[in-house]
Each structure stands twice: as C-alpha cells, then as structure tokens.
Amino acid sequence: MAAIRSVGNGLGMATMMFHDEVVPTRDVEQHLPAETKLTEKELFMARHLIQALATDFEPTKYENLYYRYVMEMKYSPLCPVTSTRFLGVP
C-alpha cells in the first residue's frame, strides 16, 4: 500500500508496509494544503500509477519487527533510560 501526495512541483509516494501505518482518510485530510492544484497530466499519472500497483493487501498479515524490537529494548531492564536503577529506584 502506498500514499501518493504532492511534493513541491511533483508527486511523491510513500510505501506503507504495516497495519499501524494505514490510517483513515479523515485523519490525513486535515494535513492537506487547502490550495493544491493538480494538472490533468498529474492526475492521469497518479491514477495510472495507482492502477499499476493495485493488488489485494491485508496489512495485518505483516508485523513491524523494527518497532517491536525497539519497544522491547526500550522496556528492557538493561535499557538505561527506563531502568529503575537509572531512575534512582532501588
């Protein structure tokens, strides 16, 4: 899955690989510039790209292992930031 948005004078695409990256449209719309104007050529290109990349996708089939490992390290007793020893708790 990917998000396509205007970036400067062009279009940018960000690939989303995990279920926590997929958000409702209403959450994204509030961050869109109010005066974005696309040419017919840009719209055609965006539609063509979307159609070319379209496929069935179930984001819950994938797990963001990087996020999980970072959270495991963050809450590990060996992590100096969250360790009770670091916080001065005996």
pLDDT at 25: 73
* Rounded distance between C-alpha atoms, residue 1 and residue 15, angstroms: 6
The tens digit of pLDDT for each residue in 47-89 reads 898 888 888 877 778 788 888 888 887 777 776 655 444 444 4
The tens digit of pLDDT for each residue in 11-21 reads 788 877 777 77
* Rounded distance between C-alpha atoms, residue 36 and residue 42, angstroms: 12
**Contacts of residue 12, Cβ cutoff 8 Å, sequence gap at least 6:** 4, 5, 6
Tell me, yes or no, whether 48 and 77 share the same domain.
Answer: no
Tell me, yes or no, whether 7 and 26 share the same domain.
Answer: yes
SS3 content of the chain, % helix, strand, coil (to 5): 40, 15, 50
Number of domains in the chain: 2
Residue span of the structural domain in which 26 resides: 2-57
